[in-house]
């Protein structure tokens, strides 16, 4: 039986404008087909939209949205018993899941421009109202119901 490989940490350099590693990671997640400049333009336009129309610091709103939509637990399927068990997630996994959910639910919004969808999803996630926060809350609700069911 082969051993499980350890996770390799790739060094990601901070982004150009805000000098933040999380923003660069988010740009990499937004990127499609290797077009990084387009992804950068989308994220920076969304941040400018937040700065101009909401008059708030976009980095604070971005970090608050990541914290609000990051799950604490995750369902894992083990090979032996084929039951879903819930485990706590490490910090890097929490951030990457929340970034992916924000991207997914901003794509599902109805506006024509991606930067508007992204800005509105970030604002609503920072206020604990977005679809990514609802997904997190549904996962936590399922976990609490399963936990209560197992104890009985």
Whichever domain contains 91, its CATH number is 1.10.455.10
Q: Does the residue 26 lie in any domain?
A: yes
5: in domain: no
Is residue 62 assigned to a domain?
Answer: yes
Residue in this structure with the two tokens 């794509």, named with its chain if needed:
107
DSSP 8-class letter at 77: E
Asked if the structure places residue 10 within a domain, the reply is no
Cβ pair 124, 130 in contact under 8 A: yes
Task: State how far the Cα of 22 lies from the Cα of 44, in Å rounded to an integer.
Answer: 13
Sign of the C-alpha dihedral computed for residues 110, 141, 99 and 56 taken in this order = positive
Q: Does residue 144 form part of some domain?
A: yes
Nearest to 14 by CA among 25, 3, 1: 25
The answer to whether residue 131 is domain-embedded is: yes
Better-scored residue on pLDDT, 97 or 75: 97
State the helix-helix crossing angle for 91-107 and 131-151, rounded to 10 degrees: 130
> pLDDT confidence of 78, banded at 50, 70, 90?
low
Identify the pLDDT of residue 3.
79
CA–CA gap between residue 101 and residue 121 (Å, rounded): 10
Q: How many domains does the chain have?
A: 1
Q: What is the pLDDT of residues 32-60, one digit of tens each?
A: 999 999 999 999 999 999 999 999 999 99
User: Would residue 1 count as lying in a domain?
Assistant: no
- pTM of the complete model: 0.86
pLDDT digits (tens, 9 = 90+) for 87-126: 788 888 899 999 999 999 999 998 889 999 999 999 999 9
DSSP state of 15: P
Nearest to 131 by CA among 102, 110, 96: 102
Distance CA 44, CA 108 (A): 20
Residue 84 falls within a domain, yes or no? yes
Q: Which domain holds residue 44?
A: 21-151
């Amino acid at each position: 039986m082969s051993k499980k490989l350890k996770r390799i940490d790739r060094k990601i350099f901070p982004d150009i404008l805000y000098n933040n590693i999380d923003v660069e990671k988010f740009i990499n997640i937004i990127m499609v087909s290797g077009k990084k400049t387009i992804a950068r333009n989308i994220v920076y336009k969304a941040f400018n939209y937040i700065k101009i129309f909401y008059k708030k610091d976009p980095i604070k709103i971005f970090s608050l949205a990541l914290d609000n939509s990051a799950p604490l637990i995750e369902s894992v399927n083990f090979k032996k018993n084929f039951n879903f068990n819930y485990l706590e997630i490490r910090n890097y996994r929490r951030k990457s899941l929340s970034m992916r959910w924000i991207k997914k639910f901003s794509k599902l919004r109805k506006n024509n421009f991606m930067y508007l969808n992204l800005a509105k999803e970030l604002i609503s996630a920072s206020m604990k109202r977005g679809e990514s926060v609802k997904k997190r809350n549904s996962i936590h609700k399922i976990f609490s119901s399963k936990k209560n069911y197992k104890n009985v």
